[in-house]
Amino acid sequence: MNAPLPTPVQRIELPTGTLDLRIDSGASELDALLGFAARANAKRGFLFLSKVLGKHWPAQPIDMLMVHERLAATVPQFKGAVQGPVVFIAMAETAIGLGQGVFEAWLRAHPGQQALFLHTTRYRVGDGPLIEFEEAHSHAPRQFLHTPVDPELHALLLAARTLVLVDDEASTGNTFVNLAAACRRLNPGLERVHLATITNFMGRAATGLLDTRFGMPTTCGALVEGEFSFAQGPLPPDQGVAQRYEEDADRGASAAFGRLGTARALRAPEQLAARLAREFAPGSRVLVLGTGEFMHVSTLFGAALQRQGVDVVVQSTTRSPILTWGAVDHALTFPDNYGEGIANYLYNVAPGQYDHVLACHETASGPALFQLAGQLNARLFHFQSEDHVEEVPVR
């Protein structure tokens, strides 16, 4: 993928190739923030697996919220310039929860300032306008960004001068460049871009060229920075279809949690957390499980349980096929609950590992969710909105 690094700090031999990694900053945090895994994806055979994302690895909510605050603090204030609204966009599916958390942390740190949050998605919601772009290395490359249909939120998007793009890692920056260009066509008044990522492995030279690549001043904030090279090895086995987009299909994806934009923080389900905490025996180990693109609510739910003294971690299901190797020591497979008919996965969770599993979903209940609940002895919680949460009886 890249030319070999002259003095790699770390060499990782994966089943899919050889990853060389040089760390320029944040080395003391590397093990706490990151593991390495092998993708079942011929386009990219490696994965920088975040341990504080709540996706492929169990993460404590307090650690996730701290990462959100740290990345929000990297967004420049641009003193002396017209700040204008700030638009935060999180990248599906892996970084949706991260991006919404960074947006909310920024709001807490800047009371009275205007901001808008959107996240990209692989599902259409409604019939409003959207932007399509490509994440070329992904197993499911088509992504969409809906433009807000609410007039006030749409006005925020068009008045923005600062665009903040959030992902768990930056390795080439190509997807960011594609999305920023599409946003600039929609809003020519954008003046600057900021990239907020847990890890930035683009390297010093590529990071120094961001202004040129984006066509406007561009900054980057990351907890770990360095550079990688990857020598492709044996191609992984074909995992089958990873995306089946049908324009007119209703996948049950909600408009209430960020796809069509929001200008405020979501409320945590404090009352539900307090009630459940009273039901759990002292010392119970609890997993709050997000599903697919529905991630941030599970983090807030987990944080509310943690405030009640519960021993809780957060994770999410995913459509990403990853080999059982390295930072992935267990994998479960089940149908996707969005009805695309593709395989979904849950990593590093084994049946019986937790005393309680609380699965959060935005889609209506159905066979896929019942199968997931059966595998994990989980309880299902359907979040139709912040204020309407229904526990679904498991068949």
Write out pLDDT tens, residues 370-388.
Answer: 999 999 999 999 999 999 9
| Average pLDDT estimate for 132-145 | 68
Task: Reply yes or no on whether the pLDDT at 57 is more than 80.
Answer: yes
Question: Cα(101)–Cα(63) distance, rounded to whole angstroms?
Answer: 12
Write out pLDDT tens, residues 219-235.
Answer: 999 999 999 999 999 87
Least confident of 190-204, 228-242, 265-279, 302-316: 228-242
The 10 Å CB-count burial string (b at 16+, else e) for 31-55 is: eebbbbbbbbbeebbbbbbbbbbbb
Per-residue confidence band for 133, with pLDDT thresholds at 50, 70 and 90: confident
Per-residue confidence band for 137, with pLDDT thresholds at 50, 70 and 90: very low
Write out pLDDT tens, residues 72-99.
Answer: 999 998 664 457 899 999 999 999 999 9
| Average pLDDT estimate for 319-325 | 93
How are beta strands 192-200 and 162-170 bridged, if at all?
parallel
| Average pLDDT estimate for 168-195 | 94
The predicted pLDDT at position 20 comes to 96
With contact defined as beta carbons under 8 Å apart, do 285 and 255 qualify?
Answer: no
pLDDT top residue among 238 and 311: 311
Task: Reply yes or no on whether the pLDDT at 330 is more than 50.
Answer: yes
Question: Cα(58)–Cα(349) distance, rounded to whole angstroms?
Answer: 8
With contact defined as beta carbons under 8 Å apart, do 318 and 348 qualify?
Answer: no
The predicted pLDDT at position 300 comes to 98
The predicted pLDDT at position 7 comes to 60
Mean predicted lDDT score pLDDT of the chain: 92
Q: How far is CA 192 from the centre of its chain?
A: 23
The predicted pLDDT at position 79 comes to 62
Longest Cα pair distance anywhere in the chain, in angstroms? Answer: 60
Domains and their CATH numbers in the chain: 9-232 (3.40.50.2020), 270-392 (3.40.50)
Question: Cα(87)–Cα(164) distance, rounded to whole angstroms?
Answer: 6
CA distances (Å), 242 to each of 48, 51, 57, 137, in order?
A: 20, 24, 21, 13
How are beta strands 17-25 and 10-14 bridged, if at all?
antiparallel
The predicted pLDDT at position 213 comes to 97
Task: Reply yes or no on whether the pLDDT at 237 is more than 90.
Answer: no
The predicted pLDDT at position 244 comes to 60
The predicted pLDDT at position 324 comes to 96
Task: Reply yes or no on whether the pLDDT at 38 is more than 50.
Answer: yes
The predicted pLDDT at position 3 comes to 67
Question: For residue 71, which of 177, 167, 201 has the smallest C-alpha distance?
Answer: 167
